[in-house]
Amino acid sequence: MSYASQIIQILKDKNPSQNEFHQAVEEVLTSLEPLLSREKKYQDSAILERMVVPERQIIFRVTWVDDKGKIQVNYGYRIEFNSAIGPYKGGLRFHPNVNVGVIKFLGFEQVLKNSLTTLSMGGGKGGSDFDPKGKSEMEVMRFCQSFMNELYRHIGAHTDVPAGDIGVGGREIGYLFGQYKKLTNRFDGVLTGKGLNWGGSLVRPEATGYGCVYFAQEMLKDRNESLEGKICLVSGAGNVAIYTIEKLHQIGAIPVTASDSKGMIYDKEGIDVALLKEIKEVRRASLEEYAKAKPSAKYTKASDYESGCNGVWSIPCFAAFPSATQNELSAKDAKILLQNGCKCVSEGANMPSTNEAIELFLNAKICYGPGKAANAGGVAVSGLEMAQNASMHPWSFEEVDQKLLGIMKNIYQNASSTAKDFGDPTNLVMGANIAGFRKVADSMIDQGVV
Ligand code: GLU
């Protein structure tokens, strides 16, 4: 059994039923095989054994009182995965399906993603099984305050810097920051994704979506292709999906879909971003409202479609941008996309494709940008927000956007040249994993057995 396979087996035995975590580790470790057999130092230093175990895992109770006066209890998590190249950095996810396995998969991915950005950020992730859907503004605020009542003692601008993820946007970061300040009496750059008036960075809300499109453009440029005039599918309707759609319009592509937990919309005229923002960001309503307001859009209810992100992946397209959540794109969906002539998949979400779907994309040799490379723009601009906070000097929109573009180009070049070096030029999964891993692993070796 290879070194990587042994570690995967031990991990599964020691962490039963953490399926998403097993999946993320298996994908990465398997793709590292060519590096591990070329360089024995990683095995000699027990790097894989160390990298799959988080440096610290914090699990806490979050107690709060709902609008009816009833006491509610949720699980809170912060998993500080790896600090070899910088303070722990990564988002908080509030979603009912959050558990230890989900946070560990996200934290593990974050370590390699942050390494690829070239900025000095380690990896961590946190969150709660709290469901913000249907909660009042005051319930969300009380929950965030209670969550921070425990979290504040573990985080710091040079220790651990959380941000947003699914269910955590500007509103939640505001309540979390307010409570952090109240408890510590410090105005620190301890969270990113802050409001512009109080230390946030321009382009942070747009960064993941814009970056994901920049990454797709880089992949396609290498094959003398472009997104201009092309039909694109986007899943999800949160921050990542919205700004992916916005950027696709800006570069002359035609994004025709969006989806939420209840269904999906297919608007062949192209998704109206202003309307989508109004429904999702202001009214926090279902996508059904979009179809009611725009006659060119067809609404499909989730229950009418058994898989494939409520039917998004069944529409013929040139490029696909999975931007909803983990495992939203199965092997069945991948087959349909490929049969319909899809040439490019750029992942805005974390681990949206199953390992079987990834295999199909790699075998078909289409442009496939794995999440940890393609969606790194979000955390990269978080890193730029930390730099602006430290220097007390805010940058302009153009300045941040240019830096984001430069970072995404660099991630592509790094992943692509590493893939070439290891003999599989179109395999950006291997390229990104090896490139991200090497920097962290070499830093761990430099810093001794700690
Ligand atoms: N949650 C985002 C991600 O998955 C952003 C994290 C951050 O900005 O720290 O990378």
Looking at the structure, tell me whether residues 44 and 105 fall in a common domain.
no
Final residue of a structural domain among 331, 346, 373: 373
> What's the domain range around 17?
1-53
Looking at the structure, tell me whether residues 268 and 302 fall in a common domain.
yes
Question: Does the Cβ of 125 fall within 6 Å of ligand 1?
Answer: no
Query: pLDDT (tens digit, 0 to 9) for every residue of the chain, 450 residues total?
Result: 999 999 999 999 999 999 999 999 999 999 999 999 999 999 999 999 999 999 999 999 999 999 999 999 999 999 999 999 999 999 999 999 999 999 999 999 999 999 999 999 999 999 999 999 999 999 999 999 999 999 999 999 999 999 999 999 999 999 999 999 999 999 999 999 999 999 999 999 999 999 999 999 999 999 999 999 999 999 999 999 999 999 999 999 999 999 999 999 999 999 999 999 999 999 999 999 999 999 999 999 987 766 677 899 999 999 999 999 999 999 999 999 999 999 999 999 999 999 999 999 999 999 999 999 999 999 999 999 999 999 999 999 999 999 999 999 999 999 999 999 999 999 999 999 999 999 999 999 999 999
Please say if 230 is a catalytic residue: no
- Whether 272 is covered by a domain: the verdict is yes
- Whether 390 is covered by a domain: the verdict is no
Which is catalytic among the residues 104, 125, 247, 372? 125
239 is in an annotated binding site: yes
Looking at the structure, tell me whether residues 180 and 329 fall in a common domain.
no
407-418 as b/e, with b when 16 or more CB fall inside 10 Å?
A: bbeebbebbbeb
Looking at the structure, tell me whether residues 165 and 265 fall in a common domain.
no
Our mutation pick for probing the ligand 1 site, out of 165, 173, 407, counting the most ligand atoms within 8 A of Cβ, is 165
The predicted structure's pLDDT at residue 269: 97
Looking at the structure, tell me whether residues 322 and 344 fall in a common domain.
yes
Question: Does the Cβ of 115 fall within 6 Å of ligand 1?
Answer: no
Nearest ligand 1 atom to the CA of 89 is 9
Nearest ligand 1 atom to the CA of 162 is 9
- Whether 413 is covered by a domain: the verdict is no
Q: Whose CA is nearest to atom 8 of ligand 1?
A: 379
How close is the Cα of 16 to the center of ligand 1, in Å? 26
Question: Does the Cβ of 401 fall within 6 Å of ligand 1?
Answer: no
In CATH, what number is assigned to the domain containing residue 221?
3.40.50.720
- Whether 136 is covered by a domain: the verdict is yes
Query: Rounded distance, CA 234 to CA 224, Å?
Result: 23
Final residue of a structural domain among 344, 373, 402: 373
Looking at the structure, tell me whether residues 297 and 162 fall in a common domain.
no
Q: Which residues have a Cβ under 8 Å from the Cβ of 147 and sit 6 or more positions away?
A: 62, 76, 128, 130, 176
Our mutation pick for probing the ligand 1 site, out of 161, 208, 400, counting the most ligand atoms within 8 A of Cβ, is 208
The tally of domains found in the chain comes to: 3
The predicted structure's pLDDT at residue 305: 66
Give just the sign of the alpha carbon dihedral 170, 175, 180, 182: positive
Query: Rounded distance, CA 379 to CA 356, Å?
Result: 27
Looking at the structure, tell me whether residues 124 and 49 fall in a common domain.
no
110 is in an annotated binding site: yes
Nearest ligand 1 atom to the CA of 92 is 1
Nearest ligand 1 atom to the CA of 114 is 10
What does the longest C-alpha to C-alpha distance in the chain come to?
63
Our mutation pick for probing the ligand 1 site, out of 173, 382, 408, counting the most ligand atoms within 8 A of Cβ, is 382
Question: Does the Cβ of 211 fall within 6 Å of ligand 1?
Answer: no
The predicted structure's pLDDT at residue 303: 76
Looking at the structure, tell me whether residues 20 and 155 fall in a common domain.
no
Nearest ligand 1 atom to the CA of 110 is 10
89 is in an annotated binding site: yes
- Whether 399 is covered by a domain: the verdict is no
How close is the Cα of 154 to the center of ligand 1, in Å? 18
Taking a C-beta distance cutoff of 8 angstroms, is the pair 426, 369 a contact? no
Tokens of 203: 């382009």
The predicted structure's pLDDT at residue 309: 77
- Whether 241 is covered by a domain: the verdict is yes
Question: Does the Cβ of 126 fall within 6 Å of ligand 1?
Answer: no
In CATH, what number is assigned to the domain containing residue 98?
3.40.50.10860
Instruction: Determine the Cα angle at 106 with ends 100 and 110, to 5°.
Output: 140
How close is the Cα of 242 to the center of ligand 1, in Å? 16
- Whether 405 is covered by a domain: the verdict is no
Final residue of a structural domain among 343, 373, 403: 373
Give just the sign of the alpha carbon dihedral 214, 215, 218, 222: negative
Looking at the structure, tell me whether residues 288 and 331 fall in a common domain.
yes
113 is in an annotated binding site: yes
How close is the Cα of 137 to the center of ligand 1, in Å? 23
Looking at the structure, tell me whether residues 249 and 169 fall in a common domain.
no
- Whether 334 is covered by a domain: the verdict is yes
Looking at the structure, tell me whether residues 266 and 341 fall in a common domain.
yes
Looking at the structure, tell me whether residues 42 and 96 fall in a common domain.
no
208 is in an annotated binding site: yes
